[in-house]
């Protein structure tokens, strides 16, 4: 796994001007680094002061005082990383913060790469891999549901659910191992048939747990969604109405939108990564044609299609073609029948049979949008799942591990039912155990760990 050994340092507060900035130092020489750039006002040596108690003093760079601030020392193993940790709090000016960071570097620390402090916490056993992932998710959260699903009790429920399944499978496999090791002694607690019944039960539970990823992904990662339609049907106005602000330029001139705009949009508990696209039409304008191609690419990559139609004008051939596109869309398609504030030329009754769910809306008055967002939340999440009481998968890595365990257990169950030699069935069960162990990082490759921490910010 990538990462640094030794003592590392980084700014752990966001960049920019603020009241306070925190520079974190972690490693076996953290206190020695601090002693070279921080002098307590009480004149005592840092090593003589009690840990986990704020100390007021001067911060030095090249022997000169650059600021006064506070120092907190957390000796190993009772720290976030499990190592000796020092946190220096200074005034939060960008230049000043950089100078304090420079002081720690000149005192012997090296710059921490993104996610290094949380990586060290994981390697020290302070956090499971799921805990570490949740730290990154909490930092990136833009909705309350994301914060809720990243919280410690949510992680504990998932860990408990996976751990319970792991232990049940281990108990079943122990009977198979006993049959292998002592074939003449009849030491197995369960018969082959009973083990098969147990594996079948576990498979059912894994399937139910696997289904929760649909909700977890919709909440934490967000689902790509595209607002599409012909030019001048009100796509950008609807985009702005959904977002609650003027993010896209709106004019009466067809073809105003030339590029794809993307913004996050909370829809109940779910999150849409909403894109406004150029109007779909044939055009000789080279710039607009690029926008149309980008719109088509965005629609192909979307999992939610919001097709906007103008009910103030009669349905045209292009509208029928777009309705066919929505009907064949592989994800969740919704028809937004816009301009209900104007006299209608047609309505829901005129839609072709089998069309997706349709809502009469007005980008001008806001009519109908509450029903649209309620429909989308229901389509993207399981309303029966509670963020406060249910175990929910939150990452693609966790979902893939569950799928791998299901595949191995299905093979194991098939082997047991067909009378395949017990050692072959046991090996398939072992593979499922290994996949379950990957969820919280008990057994996981270095490449997976590197990928997870590569998305963290510096200082965390």
pLDDT in the model for residue 191 = 76
Q: Token digits for 381?
A: 């999440």
pLDDT in the model for residue 78 = 94
pLDDT in the model for residue 23 = 96
For 444: left if phi > 0, alpha if psi spans -120 to 50, otherwise beta; the answer is beta
pTM to 2 decimal places: 0.73
Q: What domains, with CATH codes, occur in the chain?
A: 8-128 (3.30.1360.120), 142-218+395-440 (1.20.120.430), 226-380 (3.40.50.300)
Taking only the tens place, the pLDDT of each residue in 104-150 is 999 999 999 988 998 898 888 888 777 777 777 787 788 888 889 88
pLDDT in the model for residue 15 = 86
pLDDT in the model for residue 378 = 93
pLDDT in the model for residue 448 = 45
pLDDT in the model for residue 440 = 66
- Tokens 């304008």 found at: 285
pLDDT in the model for residue 21 = 95
**What is the end-to-end Cα distance of the chain in Å, rounded?**
17
pLDDT in the model for residue 135 = 78
Which residues in the chain show pLDDT less than 70? 1-4, 178-190, 245-260, 284, 288, 440-460
pLDDT in the model for residue 187 = 46
Q: Token digits for 173?
A: 């496999």
pLDDT in the model for residue 178 = 67
pLDDT in the model for residue 189 = 61
């Amino acid at each position: 796994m990538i990462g640094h050994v030794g003592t590392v340092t980084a700014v752990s507060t966001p960049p920019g001007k603020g009241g306070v900035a925190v520079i974190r130092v972690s490693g076996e020489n953290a206190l020695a680094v601090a002693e070279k750039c921080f002098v307590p006002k009480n004149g005592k040596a840092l090593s003589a002061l009690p840990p986990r108690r704020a100390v007021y003093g001067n911060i030095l760079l090249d022997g000169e005082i650059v600021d006064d601030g506070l120092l907190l020392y957390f000796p190993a193993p009772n720290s976030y990383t499990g190592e000796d940790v020092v946190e220096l709090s200074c005034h939060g000016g960008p230049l000043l913060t950089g100078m304090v960071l420079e002081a720690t570097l000149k005192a012997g620390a090296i710059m921490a790469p993104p996610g290094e402090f949380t990586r060290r916490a994981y390697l020290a056993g302070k956090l499971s891999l799921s805990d570490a992932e949740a730290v990154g998710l909490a930092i990136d959260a833009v909705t309350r549901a994301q914060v809720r699903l990243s919280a410690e009790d949510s992680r504990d429920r998932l860990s408990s659910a996976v751990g319970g399944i792991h232990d049940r499978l281990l108990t079943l496999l122990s009977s198979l191992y006993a049959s292998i090791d002592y074939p003449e002694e009849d030491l197995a607690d369960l018969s082959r048939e009973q083990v098969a019944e147990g594996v079948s039960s576990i498979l059912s539970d894994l399937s139910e747990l696997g289904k929760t990823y649909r909700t977890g992904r919709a909440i934490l990662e967000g689902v790509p969604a595209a607002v599409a339609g012909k030019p001048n049907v009100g796509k950008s106005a609807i985009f702005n109405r959904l977002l609650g602000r003027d993010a896209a330029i709106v004019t009466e001139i067809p073809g105003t939108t030339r590029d794809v705009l993307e913004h996050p949009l909370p829809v109940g508990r779910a999150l849409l990564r909403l894109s406004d696209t150029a109007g779909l039409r044939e055009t000789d304008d080279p710039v607009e044609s690029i926008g149309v191609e980008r719109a088509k690419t965005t629609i192909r990559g979307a999992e939610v299609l919001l097709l906007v139609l103008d009910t103030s004008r009669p349905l045209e051939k292009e509208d029928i073609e777009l309705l066919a596109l929505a009907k064949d869309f592989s994800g969740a398609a919704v028809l937004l029948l816009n301009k209900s504030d104007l006299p209608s030329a047609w309505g829901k009754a005129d839609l072709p049979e089998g069309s997706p769910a349709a809502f009469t809306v007005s980008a001008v008055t806001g009519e109908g949008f509450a029903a649209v967002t309620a429909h989308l939340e229901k389509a993207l999440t399981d309303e029966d799942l509670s963020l406060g009481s249910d175990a929910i998968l939150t990452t693609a890595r966790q979902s893939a591990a569950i799928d791998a365990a299901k595949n191995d257990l299905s093979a194991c169950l098939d082997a047991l039912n067909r009378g395949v030699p017990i050692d072959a069935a046991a090996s398939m069960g072992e593979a499922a155990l290994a996949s379950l162990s990957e969820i919280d990082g008990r057994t996981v490759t270095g490449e997976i760990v590197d990928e997870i921490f590569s998305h963290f910010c510096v200082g965390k």
